[in-house]
Amino acid sequence: MTNKNLVVIGTHWGDEGKGKIVDLLTESVTAVVRFQGGHNAGHTLVVEGKKTVLHLIPSGILHPKVRCFIGNGVVLSIPDLLKEIQELEAAGVAVRDRLMISLDCPIIMPYHVALDQSVEQRRGNQKIGTTGRGIGPAYEDKVGRRGIRLRDLLDQEQLIFKLEALLHQHNFMLEQYYGAAPVTLQACLAASYDFLAELRPMMGDVLSTLASYRKTGASVLFEGAQGALLDIDHGTYPFVTSSNTTAGAISSGCGVGPRYLDYILGITKAYTTRVGEGPFPTELKDDVGRHLAEKGHEFGATTGRPRRCGWLDVHALQRVVEMNSLTGLCITKLDVLDGLKEIALCTDYEVDAVGTSTPVYEMMPGWDTPTESVKSFTELPENARAYLARIEALCGIPIDIISTGPDRSETIIKRTLI
Ligand code: IMP
């Protein structure tokens, strides 16, 4: 059976390779929706050897017939959105008539960026390692019920009134507490209101448009950003992002109720990585870790920071299967494990009296025959198949897709999802 509404979620700390899979699955859908996060995300797509990095615009945009939506759960940096649109247009991809942005999106203002950076600096060695893009402070204003939403641009007088109150509060913190430069009203208008004419045709009611798709039986793909272990509630708090990154966020983040989701796909890298600070029990600081980083080109798509690398944390994955009600998994970057003598799977943690987790590993033999670019499951080396089978058994759900290289074509599809 194929599914109508499909969800794609990263299962660890982001960078699992969601962009490529969303792009691939997009061939069969009418629309792709972002429902949380902001331009802290970075989705790298390689199509016919050409690399595109997207931060805000759904990865479906490279398919000319697909409509793309930015739901109300996304915090919006308007200058960054427009820059991304212009870059796509320069590459020959039409965006404006295919993108709808929710009127209810909170806007990231210059004071959010200033606060994000000031807070991180003040934390010193306790820093979170944020992307410095104002994501956290923008969500704080949203939850504080004082944030500026996209619809606020429609009434300039009211916008200025609200902004003045926000500047009063945030500049007090910036100047008096953090010793940073204040932000001007002009800078805020230049990052928002000044683009109204350009944005107006793309602003719309995402909820009702998606409802009309559902009523006509059109398929929609929901594209998660970051990963489940960066979820504000279920992640490795406080080393998390400021949104819910799990499947439950779809309903609040774009207005599609939970009963309308048909298949939830977890994207899992064949090993685990993390950018920024925070716990990472299976991290490898040895030659194997460096090998994974080098072979897997593990540098952040948004900040260019090197990613920390380690063995696949299946123990964490089991919890992620549960919290997202995952239907199946897609394993990416299997080829990066090619040539390793032994591969470890973390199946449990031993937790000491102060709460430090030491991973418990199950060792599996590696494989010599490369999996790189392999396009059929039966052509995978036996030990690679055994590795995948063990992950399936431990998680209790099937691996439906395997990615063996960055290109769209380097993919094994075991089950057609849509
Ligand atoms: P923020 O989302 O900028 O507040 O950063 C909070 C944490 O989430 C940091 O550890 C970031 O490195 C991490 N993070 C945010 N977005 C991504 C992503 O798309 N991939 C991987 N890590 C991310």
For every residue of 335-377, DSSP letters joined together read GGGTT-SEEEEEEEEEE-TT--EEEEEEEEE--SS--TT--SG
Q: What is the pLDDT of residue 154?
A: 98
Does ligand 1 lie within 6 Å of residue 275's CB atom? yes
Taking CA atoms, 8 is separated from 225, 235, 248, 378, 398, in Å, by 9, 17, 12, 25, 15
Does ligand 1 lie within 6 Å of residue 135's CB atom? yes
CA of 3 to the centre of ligand 1 (A): 30
Residues of the chain with CATH 3.40.440.10: 5-103+202-263
CA of 277 to the centre of ligand 1 (A): 10
Question: Residue 138, by phi and psi: left (phi above 0), alpha (psi -120 to 50) or beta?
Answer: alpha
Phi/psi of residue 388, nearest 5 degrees: -65, -40
pLDDT tens-place values along the chain, 418 residues long: 577 999 999 999 999 999 889 989 999 999 999 999 999 998 877 766 778 889 999 988 999 999 999 999 999 999 999 999 999 998 899 999 999 999 999 999 999 999 999 999 999 999 999 999 999 999 999 999 999 999 999 999 999 999 999 999 999 999 999 999 999 999 999 999 999 999 999 999 999 999 999 999 999 999 999 999 999 999 999 999 999 999 999 999 999 999 999 999 999 999 999 998 999 999 999 999 999 999 999 988 778 888 999 999 999 999 999 999 999 999 999 999 999 999 999 999 999 999 888 999 999 999 999 999 999 999 999 999 999 999 999 999 999 999 999 888 999 999 999 8
Does ligand 1 lie within 6 Å of residue 284's CB atom? no
Report the sign of the C-alpha dihedral through residues 38, 40, 41, 44, in that order: positive
Residues of the chain with CATH 1.10.300.10: 110-196
Tell me how many helices (H) and strands (E) the chain has: 12, 17
Ligand 1 pocket: which of 275, 283, 302 to mutate (most atoms <8 Å of CB)? 275
Is 333 in contact with 269 (CB distance < 8 Å)?
yes
- Please report the atom of ligand 1 found closest to the CA of residue 132: 3
For the entire predicted model, the pTM comes to 0.96
Q: Whose CA is nearest to atom 9 of ligand 1?
A: 130
Closest CA to 35 of 189, 258, 332: 258
Distance separating alpha carbons of residues 6 and 28, to the nearest angstrom: 11
Q: What residue spans of 91-205 are helical by DSSP H?
A: 110-123, 135-143, 156-172, 185-190, 196-199
Statement: 110-196 belongs to CATH 1.10.300.10: yes
Assigned CATH topology for domain 5-103+202-263: Adenylosuccinate Synthetase; Chain A, domain 1 (3.40.440)
Enter the tokens of residue 42: 């970075």
Does ligand 1 lie within 6 Å of residue 40's CB atom? yes
Output the 3-class SS for 192-223. Answer: CHHHHHHHHHHEECHHHHHHHHHHCCCCEEEE
Phi/psi of residue 240, nearest 5 degrees: -140, 175
CA of 130 to the centre of ligand 1 (A): 6
Amino acid letter, residue 141: D
Ligand 1 pocket: which of 226, 273, 303 to mutate (most atoms <8 Å of CB)? 226
The alpha carbon of 128 is separated from its chain's Cα centroid by a whole number of angstroms, namely 17
Is 257 in contact with 22 (CB distance < 8 Å)?
no
Residue with tokens 């089991």: 318
Q: Whose CA is nearest to atom 2 of ligand 1?
A: 241
Distance separating alpha carbons of residues 133 and 62, to the nearest angstrom: 25
Amino acid letter, residue 44: T
- Please report the atom of ligand 1 found closest to the CA of residue 133: 3
Q: What is the pLDDT of residue 1?
A: 57
Continuous segment of H or E residues that includes residue 82: helix 78-90
DSSP 175: I
Residue 183: CB atoms within 10 Å: 23
- Please report the atom of ligand 1 found closest to the CA of residue 303: 12
CA of 88 to the centre of ligand 1 (A): 24
Ligand 1 pocket: which of 131, 234, 272, 299 to mutate (most atoms <8 Å of CB)? 131
Residue 195: CB atoms within 10 Å: 16
Statement: 267-413 belongs to CATH 3.90.170.10: yes
User: DSSP per residue over 293-313, as a string?
Assistant: HHHTT-B-TTT-PBPEEE-EE
Does ligand 1 lie within 6 Å of residue 6's CB atom? no
Ligand 1 pocket: which of 40, 269, 308 to mutate (most atoms <8 Å of CB)? 40
Residue 417, strand partner residues = none
Is 347 in contact with 317 (CB distance < 8 Å)?
no
Distance separating alpha carbons of residues 135 and 344, to the nearest angstrom: 35
Angle (CA) 216-245-346 rounded to 5° is 120
Angle (CA) 312-275-85 rounded to 5° is 115
Does ligand 1 lie within 6 Å of residue 244's CB atom? no
Does ligand 1 lie within 6 Å of residue 256's CB atom? no
Phi/psi of residue 9, nearest 5 degrees: -130, 140
Residues of the chain with CATH 3.90.170.10: 267-413
Residue with tokens 């290289």: 405
Does ligand 1 lie within 6 Å of residue 210's CB atom? no
Residue with tokens 């945030």: 170
Amino acid letter, residue 273: T
Q: Which residues are catalytic?
A: 15, 43
CA of 366 to the centre of ligand 1 (A): 31
Amino acid letter, residue 338: D
Q: What is the pLDDT of residue 44?
A: 78
